[in-house]
Structure 1
């Protein structure tokens, strides 16, 4: 017996009408991207399900480990190939059920006899396989409707294919199905979580980070690189745009009163993001702002920040509690990266008493003393662009 195939069940895709094939095609492409390092991976998509076949069980282990990160999948099941004799099917059933939690669970066997020349009828297969499992796992009880464990057997021409384990997928929509948007990635806890939520709604991400050396160091930038790497593991490659922000940020602090610099700085970030958005053909800006969490995230502050752009600004965390955000960060494995003690340009320059209700006309008044247009364009032109996931370079030891 061997397990080299998984059956993938679509989630929200099943509700799509005429666009269904487009969504399924997008999911198939994202799966290929996720497993680009595995050779001879075969993907067959059908209307309501998809089959992924690996070259061997080692590759299949990688598929099972990584597939839960691919959006657009409701659940999937490893499929084990068995010989066509009743005894081989019994042994395969024992192997499959033996890996599952059976204490106090209900059980049934269902059979699909696609090979009509197979000498045994469905009731006989169900009885022989089911009774063998029940004898060896007496803690199981039979339940024909909605059992905890349903062992499915499909009889084909050359083999029987059996499965019972159901592994939950990431759900949502395939990345790219919802267009592309630009995520402002700070290095903190919130913005990677905001990116995760938008990926789940099928939005492909470009990332933008504002870097202010020497006030922020390379370790702070490496932290952002690691966050970008994590976000690229959800079925799509990602580009990160690193903006040199020192000159512009210092000019803001010269011209704008200290208690308004946070608002003005965020407005400059939005203006730069707007320019990068045009070049990347993105349709919106995403932020990790949560209402009332800090001074720049009051309604008055957000209104003043929004006024600098007509681009849609998406804030998926706007009504979430901080503990909920932290919970998601831990779930997607970004929390430990985000709490590394390397500050970004926003925290370094945070004023002692920032305005929580800044007046837009006053902010604009102080910004008008300087033309920021040239500095904004210079920052955009001098940005660094990095592709994720990063390709691991072979070292000399790797080649030995």
Structure 2
């Protein structure tokens, strides 16, 4: 019997549940993103196709690397290296084919067979599991359906059989590019890359915006972390980092702003600058890494005051609003950017004494007006760095 090695992936449930009119667009974008991801990771795969809500990646130069890459593409629920063969409709034929692939997997170990079928008549998924289990049993240490040492997955789809040892989890979400574009305020610390990641997971192309507040070294930190994030996750487009020299703004705030309002005026200035850049470059939203109550400028009262002092024309999205620092750090580690983000230093401390936690919107608006023109002038320093 002839077998084919491939990478088998499950689509995100959100894609599968889309309407017949919408789903093809999402699937096409997912395939395009996977092509880009494989290319950027120096993996050649000649065929990428979607059949029966499964993604089939064939003829790869390096299957292990192809699998690792797919597991970093939004829209992929899970993936595994699988082996495939054709059958003629005989359950015995399927069982023998699976045995030739999986006998070594169960050798001396307790196992379970997990079977499913689609587009096949004459037998059920349970029939497949029982018959395959009987075929593998002599090679094993017995069957344990509750806590097996190894699970053999068998999918019979039409005349094709796929055999694998369970899928590793992918990020899920939606393919990047199906939900527009957003500009992420990006310090390069622990919060901002996680905010960018969560936004990209919802199908949004994210570009990054860094404000140089004190020294140019902060731009190098932001670029280093941004490149790591793009390398691992941002596929299907050319992610960018925008840099703005905000030092004249911070100097003015430090010397001319009402005591206690420095940090919140600086944050409002960043919102305003981000809005102007986003509108000029066609972004649909601005994203921040703020978490409610994490620092003084991020109290809910201050967020309300900022919204009243300067109503924005674009949505301001806070993906981390309900997360605490420990949760953010956990995600940062999981997505592979913690080691770089943890190196980022705090370059600017402009508050003189205690920072206000319940700002007055009227006072905040008045204080912001003192720096508004300088914020607008700072945009002349805008530079763009390609991250991939």
Scaled by the length of structure 2, what TM-score is found? 0.82
Partner of 1:14: 16
Q: Post-superposition shift, 1:2?
A: 5.7
The answer as to 2:50 corresponding to 1:51 is no
Q: The residue matched to 1:340 in structure 2 has which SS?
A: coil
Q: Post-superposition shift, 1:13?
A: 0.7
Partner of 1:166: 167
Q: How many Å separate the matches in 1 of 2:114 and 2:301?
A: 59
Q: Post-superposition shift, 1:89?
A: 5.1
Describe the shift of the 1:365–1:5 C-alpha distance in structure 2 as closer, same or farther (beyond 3 A): closer
Describe the shift of the 1:235–1:367 C-alpha distance in structure 2 as closer, same or farther (beyond 3 A): closer
The answer as to 2:289 corresponding to 1:288 is yes
The answer as to 2:47 corresponding to 1:73 is no
Partner of 1:387: 386
Partner of 2:353: 352
Partner of 1:92: 101
Unaligned runs of 5+ in 1: 115-121, 390-400
Q: Please say if residues 151 and 166 of structure 2, whose CA atoms lie closer than 8 Å, have aligned partners that are also in contact.
A: no
Q: Post-superposition shift, 1:222?
A: 2.8
Q: How many Å separate the matches in 1 of 2:23 and 2:161?
A: 30
Q: How many Å separate the matches in 1 of 2:86 and 2:284?
A: 53
Q: How many Å separate the matches in 2 of 1:329 and 1:123?
A: 41
Q: Post-superposition shift, 1:266?
A: 0.9
Describe the shift of the 1:3–1:256 C-alpha distance in structure 2 as closer, same or farther (beyond 3 A): same
Describe the shift of the 1:49–1:251 C-alpha distance in structure 2 as closer, same or farther (beyond 3 A): same
The answer as to 2:313 corresponding to 1:310 is yes
Scaled by the length of structure 1, what TM-score is found? 0.80
Q: How many Å separate the matches in 1 of 2:361 and 2:126?
A: 75
Partner of 2:209: 208
* Equivalent pairs, count: 366
Q: How many Å separate the matches in 2 of 1:112 and 1:358?
A: 60
The answer as to 2:27 corresponding to 1:24 is yes
Q: How many Å separate the matches in 2 of 1:111 and 1:248?
A: 63
Q: How many Å separate the matches in 2 of 1:354 and 1:188?
A: 21
Partner of 2:219: 221
Q: The residue matched to 1:290 in structure 2 has which SS?
A: coil
Q: How many Å separate the matches in 2 of 1:154 and 1:12?
A: 21
Q: Post-superposition shift, 1:226?
A: 2.8
Q: How many Å separate the matches in 2 of 1:124 and 1:183?
A: 52
Aligned runs of 1:213-252 on 2, under 5 Å? 215-218=214-217, 220-232=218-230, 233-236=232-235, 237-252=238-253
Q: Post-superposition shift, 1:195?
A: 1.5
Of 330, 333, 336, which aligns to 1:330? 333
Q: Post-superposition shift, 1:109?
A: 5.9
